[in-house]
């Protein structure tokens, strides 16, 4: 579950922004045979064939995340239903659902992000009829009382409070608050704290949210691995075919261009290392514009372990103990995020300037052709290497579904990498890394600690 920003989450998203193996531009990034069926109610079914004898990954993708929480006072409901969907139905109460999952030896879980909610199981292929039965039932017939709703919503408040002990949660909240003024990316996946606190009073709204977004025309089901497509489609049509389409859904507001740099501070209550957290507005995921691949390459050139900036700040000068940066693919324009954890507070301003100077350098001086070729090759290979089991294939397809509505969108995206020129890389840096497009948030240690450090210098 990605309910907040972490450096690890950013890196894992960047890994999914890679491209196919370095064996020629004609080779597909997502090279798996796939069969598709669309039911009359709009539910999309995908059977993705992957060599995993006897094993399947079953993914249900709801194309709804915190992005879709457009109504004031009602943030956090996409994440709420990630929890609530395990509460059971009349046919399969929660205890019986869990028993069945154990009986078939399945691994079951879910996660929420800005753009999607995913429910997934990994099991033996002989369990497919059972999985279709229990999954189709809970998506169509979820039932919970007001008391159960209140209990779960209070558990989510506990999750929020637990997460707030990690400095990246308030950092992410502050960055989004400053960087976005209209779009729903302004709040994190778990929601605004005031809305989470009020959630126990929103039972009626929860029913409305579920009815609005948990509909077949807003869902896609992927089965990856050792799957018999004809059998899967027949089972799914019988189980899901009577489900009715949903009605109209609210539009997500567009974010206007940022006109000036925004800056903020998060004061931390306990001893900590300062953190510089930066965000630059970048475009939405696209299979038609080379700017996305160019930004992925920039991420490698600027912030990988092999990058000059990492060598200088982390290894040689040892001013920073963690340095990461990259774009995170989103359905709408989001941010290229940079995080630097600085060892001494006196170096914060200098580290920020070093990052900006390195960006300015690559904006003015395109990488040489050999460096670009090697970087593209590395990124392509990283993506290919990540597709090493049925579960990874399914989750990668699920993310493409969230972004574009189709699992194989990676093929079009990665086909653009061989077309990149050194000038494309510098052009992207000049266009998106302007100071007026930047938001900076700094995590500061407690004032008394800062005073002690200042006195010791």
| Residue 409, token pair as written in the block | 């969108």
Whether 61 maps to a domain, the answer reads: yes
The stretch 25-41 carries a mean pLDDT of: 90
**What's the pLDDT tens digit per position in 145-172?**
999 999 999 999 999 999 999 999 999 9
pLDDT of the residue at 279 = 98
Average pLDDT over residues 282-298: 97
Residue 445 lies inside a defined structural domain of this protein? yes
Q: Measured between alpha carbons, how far is 140 from 43 in angstroms, rounded to an integer?
A: 12
Cβ pair 414, 29 in contact under 8 A? yes
Taking the CB of residue 354, how many other CB atoms lie within 10 A of it? 19
Does 292 share its domain with 423?
yes
Distance CA 326, CA 312 (A): 19
The whole-number average pLDDT for the span 292-310 is: 96
pLDDT in the model for residue 448: 54
- The label of the residue with tokens 């052709």 reads 369
* Co-location of 57 and 196 in the same domain: yes
- Is the per-residue pLDDT at 314 higher than 50? yes
HEC secondary structure over the chain: CCCCCCHHHHHHHHHCCCCCCCCCCCCCCCCCCEEEEECCCCCEEEEEECCCCCEEEEEEEECCCHHHCCCCCCCCHHHHHHHHCCCECCCCEHHHHHHHHHHCCCEEEEEECCCCEEEEEEEEHHHHHHHHHHHHHHHHHCCCCHHHHHHHHHHHHHHHHHHCCCCHHHHHHHHHHHHCCCCHHHCCCCCCHHHHHHHHHCHHHHHHHHHHHCCHHHEEEEEEECCCHHHHHHHHHHHHCCCCCCCCCCCCCCCCCCCCCEEEEEECCCCCCCEEEEEEEECCCCCCCCHHHHHHHHHHHHHCCCCHHHHHHHHHCCCEEEEEEEECCCCCCEEEEEEEEECCHHHHHHHHHHHHHHHHHHHHCCCCHHHHHHHHHHHHHHHHHHCCCHHHHHHHHHHHHHHHCCCCHHHHHHCCHHHCCHHHHHHHHHHHCCHHHEEEEEEECCHHHHHHHHHHC
Mean pLDDT value across residues 425-447: 95
For residue 219, report the phi and psi dihedrals to the nearest 5 degrees. -125, 155
Instruction: Let me know whether 179 and 303 are in one domain.
Output: no
Same domain? For 97 and 205 the reply is yes
Q: How many CB atoms lie within 10 A of CB 162?
A: 10
Mark which of 240, 272, 303 sits at the end of a domain. Answer: 240
Tell whether 326 and 196 lie within a shared domain.
no
Beta-sheet pairing, 438-444 with 262-267:
parallel
In this structure, is residue 86 part of a structural domain?
A: yes
- Binning pLDDT at 50, 70 and 90, where does residue 439 land? very high
Weakest mean pLDDT among 2-6, 101-105, 254-258:
2-6
Return the minimum-mean-pLDDT range out of 16-30, 147-161, 407-421.
Answer: 16-30
Residues 394 and 355 both lie in one domain: yes
What pTM was estimated for this model as a whole? 0.90
pLDDT category, 186, cuts 50, 70, 90?
A: very high
Any domain includes 256: no
Mean per-residue pLDDT, 125-146: 97
Residue 176's φ and ψ, nearest 5 degrees, are -65, -40
The per-residue pLDDT of the chain, averaged, comes to 92
* Residue 249 within any structural domain of the chain: no
Query: Residues 266, 215: one domain?
Result: no
Residue 245, in any domain of the structure:
no
- Pair 14, 158 in one domain: yes
Structural domain span for residue 174: 7-240
Q: How confident is the model at residue 7 (pLDDT cuts 50, 70, 90)?
A: very low
Q: What is the pLDDT of residue 10?
A: 35
Same domain, 177 and 285: no
Indicate if 281 and 405 belong to the same structural domain. yes
In a domain, 247, yes or no: no
Mean pLDDT calculated for residue range 177-189: 98
320: CATH: 3.30.830.10
Average pLDDT estimate for 269-277: 93
Q: Label residue 27 by pLDDT band (50, 70, 90).
A: confident
Question: Residues 103-125: what's their mean pLDDT?
Answer: 97
Question: Would 27 be classed as within a structural domain?
Answer: yes
The mean pLDDT of 210-227, rounded to a whole number, is 98
Query: Each residue of 344-389: pLDDT tens digit?
Result: 999 999 999 999 999 999 999 999 999 999 999 999 899 999 999 9
Residue 446: pLDDT band with limits 50, 70, 90:
confident
What's the mean pLDDT in 409-420? 96
Q: State pLDDT tens for residues 63-92.
A: 999 999 999 999 999 999 999 999 999 999
Same domain as 297, residue 421: yes
Percentage of the chain exceeding pLDDT 70: 92
Q: Do 294 and 208 share a structural domain? A: no
C-alpha 432/C-alpha 282 separation (Å) is: 6
User: Residue 108 and residue 99: Cα distance in Å, rounded?
Assistant: 12
Provide the domain count of the chain. 2
Mean pLDDT of all residues in 35-46: 98
**Angle subtended at Cα 243 by Cα 240 and Cα 248, rounded to the nearest 5 degrees:** 130
């Amino acid at each position: 579950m990605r309910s907040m920003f972490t450096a690890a989450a950013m890196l894992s998203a960047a890994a999914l922004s890679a491209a196919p193996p370095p064996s020629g531009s004609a080779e597909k990034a997502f090279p798996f045979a796939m069969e598709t069926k669309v039911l009359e109610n709009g539910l999309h079914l995908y059977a993705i064939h992957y060599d995993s004898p006897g094993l399947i990954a079953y993914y249900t993708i709801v194309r709804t995340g915190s992005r879709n929480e457009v109504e004031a006072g009602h943030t956090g409901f996409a994440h709420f239903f990630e929890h609530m969907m395990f509460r059971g139905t009349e046919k399969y109460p929660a205890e019986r659902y869990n028993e069945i999952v154990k009986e078939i030896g399945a691994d079951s879980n879910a996660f929420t992000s800005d753009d999607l909610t995913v429910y997934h199981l990994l099991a033996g292929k002989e369990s497919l009829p059972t999985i279709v039965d229990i999954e189709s039932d809970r998506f169509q017939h979820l039932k919970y009382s007001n008391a159960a709703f209140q209990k779960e919503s209070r558990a989510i408040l506990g999750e929020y409070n637990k997460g707030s002990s990690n400095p990246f949660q308030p950092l992410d909240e502050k960055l989004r608050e400053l960087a976005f003024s209209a779009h729903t990316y302004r709040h994190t996946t778990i929601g605004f704290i005031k809305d989470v606190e009020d959630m126990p009073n929103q039972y009626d709204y929860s029913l409305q949210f579920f009815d609005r977004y948990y509909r077949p025309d807003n869902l896609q089901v992927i089965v990856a691995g050792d799957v018999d497509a004809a059998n899967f489609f027949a089972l799914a049509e019988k189980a899901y075919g009577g489900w009715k389409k949903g009605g109209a859904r609210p539009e997500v507001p567009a974010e206007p261009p940022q006109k000036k740099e925004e800056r903020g501070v998060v004061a931390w209550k306990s001893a900590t290392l300062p953190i510089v957290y930066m965000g630059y507005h970048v475009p939405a995921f696209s299979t038609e514009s080379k700017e996305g691949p160019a930004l992925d390459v920039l991420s490698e050139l600027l912030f990988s372990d092999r990058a000059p900036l990492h060598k200088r700040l982390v290894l040689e000068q040892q001013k920073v103990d963690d340095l990461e940066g990259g774009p995170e693919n989103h359905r709408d324009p989001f941010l290229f995020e940079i995080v630097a954890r600085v060892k001494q507070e006196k170096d914060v301003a200098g580290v920020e300037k070093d990052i900006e100077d390195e960006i300015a350098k690559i904006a003015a001086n395109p990488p040489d052709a050999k460096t670009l070729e090697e970087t593209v090759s590395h990124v392509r290979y990283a993506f290919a290497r990540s597709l090493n089991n049925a579960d990874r294939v399914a989750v990668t397809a699920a993310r493409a579904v969230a972004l574009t509505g189709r699992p194989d969108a990676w093929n079009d995206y990665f086909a653009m990498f061989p077309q990149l020129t050194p000038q494309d890389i510098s052009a992207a840096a000049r266009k998106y890394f302007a100071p007026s497009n930047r938001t900076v948030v700094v995590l500061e240690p407690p004032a008394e600690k800062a005073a002690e450090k200042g006195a010791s210098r």
